[in-house]
A and B are shown apart, each in its own frame.
Chain A
Amino acid sequence: MINDEIMDYIGILAKLELSAEEKESTKKDMERMLAYFDKLNELDTTGIEPVSHITKVQNVFREDMVTKGDEHEKTLQNAPREKDNMFMVPKIFG
Chain B
Amino acid sequence: MDILSYTAVGLAKAIREGKTTATEAMQAVLDKIEEVEESIHAYVTIDKEKAIKKAEEVQKKIESGELTGALAGVPIAIKDNLCTEDMLTTCSSKMLENFVPTFSAEAIRNLEKAGAVIIGKTNMDEFAMGSTTETSYFGVTRNPWNTEHVPGGSSGGSAAAVAASECFFALGSDTGGSIRQPAAYCGVVGMKPTYGTVSRYGLVAYGSSLDQIGPLTKDVTDCATVMEVLASHDEKDSTSIKREDTDFTSALVADVKGMRIGIPSDYFREGLNPEIKDAVLATAKVLEEKGAIVEEFNLSLVEYAIPTYYTIASAEASSNLERFDGIKYGYRTPEYEGLHNMYKKTRSEGFGEEVKRRIMLGAFVLSAGYYDAYYLKALRVKSMICKAFDKAFEKYDIILGPVAPTTAPKLGASLADPMKMYLADIYTISVNLAGLPGISVPCGMDSKGLPIGVQMIANSFEEKKLFRAAYTYEKTKRMSKSVKCAE
Residues in chain A within 8 A of chain B (CB atoms): 2, 6, 9-11, 13-18, 22, 26, 29-30, 32-34, 36-37, 39-43, 45, 48-55, 57, 59-60, 62, 68, 71, 74-75, 77-81, 87, 89-92
B269 within 8 Å of A by Cβ?
no
Residues of B close to A78: CB separation below 8 A:
98-100, 102, 328-330
- Contact across chains for B379 and A60 when beta carbons are under 8 A apart: no
- Contact across chains for B383 and A51 when beta carbons are under 8 A apart: yes
- Kindly report which residue of chain A lies nearest to residue B321, judged by CB atoms: A14
Question: How far does the alpha carbon of A33 sit from the alpha carbon of B377 in the complex, in Å?
Answer: 15
- Contact across chains for B360 and A30 when beta carbons are under 8 A apart: yes
- Kindly report which residue of chain B lies nearest to residue A94, judged by CB atoms: B338
- Contact across chains for A15 and B344 when beta carbons are under 8 A apart: yes
Question: How far does the alpha carbon of A68 sit from the alpha carbon of B338 in the complex, in Å?
Answer: 34
- Contact across chains for A62 and B235 when beta carbons are under 8 A apart: yes
Give residues of chain B (93-130) contacting chain A, Cβ–Cβ below 8 Å. 98-100, 102-103
Of A32, A52, A80, A89, the residue contacting B339 (CB under 8 A) is A89
Question: How far does the alpha carbon of A57 sit from the alpha carbon of B339 in the complex, in Å?
Answer: 39
Residues of A close to B336: CB separation below 8 A:
90
- Contact across chains for A39 and B347 when beta carbons are under 8 A apart: no
- Expressed in whole angstroms, the minimum distance between the Cβ of B301 and any Cβ of chain A is 8
Question: How far does the alpha carbon of A22 sit from the alpha carbon of B357 in the complex, in Å?
Answer: 9
Question: How far does the alpha carbon of A55 sit from the alpha carbon of B343 in the complex, in Å?
Answer: 35
Residues of A close to B345: CB separation below 8 A:
17
Question: How far does the alpha carbon of A68 sit from the alpha carbon of B236 in the complex, in Å?
Answer: 12
Complex A-B: 22 CB contacts under 8 Å? A6-B364, A10-B367, A11-B344, A14-B347, A14-B359, A15-B325, A15-B344, A16-B356, A17-B348, A26-B356, A30-B357, A34-B361, A36-B306, A36-B307, A41-B377, A42-B304, A43-B301, A49-B380, A51-B382, A60-B235, A68-B103, A77-B100
Of B196, B304, B338, B376, the residue contacting A50 (CB under 8 A) is B376
Considering residues A9, A41, A57, A92, which has the most beta carbons from chain B within 10 angstroms of its beta carbon?
A57
Encode B378-409 as 1/0 by CB contact (under 8 A) with A.
Answer: 11111110100000000000000000000000
- Expressed in whole angstroms, the minimum distance between the Cβ of B45 and any Cβ of chain A is 16
